[in-house]
Amino acid sequence: MESTVDTNTAVRATALSLESVSRRYGRRGGGGREAIALDAVSCAVPAGSFTAVVGPSGSGKSTFLQCAAGLDRPTAGTVRVGGTDLGSLSEAALTRLRRDRIGFVFQSHALNLVPSLNIEENVVLPLVLAGADPTDERVLARGRDLLARVGLAGRGGQGPATLSGGQQQRVAVARALVTEPDVIFADEPTASLDPESASLVLGLLRDAVRIDGRTVVMVTHDPVAASWADTVLTMDGGRLR
């Protein structure tokens, strides 16, 4: 029987927290006007939850994701993933944390998948980068299992270019799950998809929460996509409203 995680009643730790996080660009000896992308943002995301971050263009939601995921360092404040203060880490340690404990699903197919690798190799790439043997049957089985889960069983030997945009996004979700990460960050994952493909991708993210107890944080401009989340955070002018 399929086991599920009850995201309503389970006692959960905090998977991601931001405390007075700001990100400013410009000035500091360079002249010109300072731009404030994030302005003292604080929030806590429970483990095993699905959070959508919405807001108009330029509201700061993409900067929120970049700082929360360790892709950019804030000017001020503290970001913690699973209790680890990202600001305390060296660049090498931060890279390892992103590889081992964070999953990514990007809007751009070019960022999601490596065209020179086949589909199965793309899925297990984070494991290989962490030192796993790409010929190890356990690694290969993990890739096959995840491809079956996203509806692409038997297609692991194909190249990414043979797949539609929606299928490529499903491969990206499989790859985001392969390391069993603390948090999966999804940046406009359905922006270029038709409604049916978008529903399939959102359903997979929802299942990552419901079945696996993963934490998903998704940036989106689409209210339909946001409706799949447990919690919706609205950003405007670099602040949470």
Res 110: pLDDT: 66
Query: How far is Cα 179 from Cα 137, in angstroms, rounded to an integer?
Result: 16
- Does some domain include residue 157? yes
- Does some domain include residue 163? yes
SS3 of residue 50 by DSSP = strand
Percent of the chain with pLDDT over 70: 92
Res 168: pLDDT: 95
- Count up the domains in the chain and report the number: 1
- Does some domain include residue 188? yes
Domain with 209 in it: what CATH number? 3.40.50.300
Pick the more confident residue, 27 or 77: 77
- Does some domain include residue 180? yes
- Does some domain include residue 169? yes
Q: For residue 10, is pLDDT > 50?
A: no
Percent of the chain with pLDDT over 90: 87
Calculate helix-pair angle for 165-177, 195-210, nearest 10 degrees: 10
Answer positive or negative: Cα dihedral of 76, 81, 85, 88: negative
Structural domain span for residue 107? 49-61+93-240
Q: For residue 18, is pLDDT > 60?
A: yes
Res 108: pLDDT: 80
Q: For residue 65, is pLDDT > 50?
A: yes
Q: For residue 86, is pLDDT > 70?
A: yes
Query: How far is Cα 210 from Cα 55, in angstroms, rounded to an integer?
Result: 26
- Does some domain include residue 19? no
Q: pLDDT tens, 107-121?
A: 886 678 999 999 999
Mean pLDDT of the chain: 91
6-25 average pLDDT score:
78
Q: 102 pLDDT band (50/70/90 cuts)?
A: very high
CA terminus-to-terminus distance, the chain? 41
- Does some domain include residue 67? no
2-11 average pLDDT score:
40
Query: How far is Cα 60 from Cα 36, in angstroms, rounded to an integer?
Result: 9
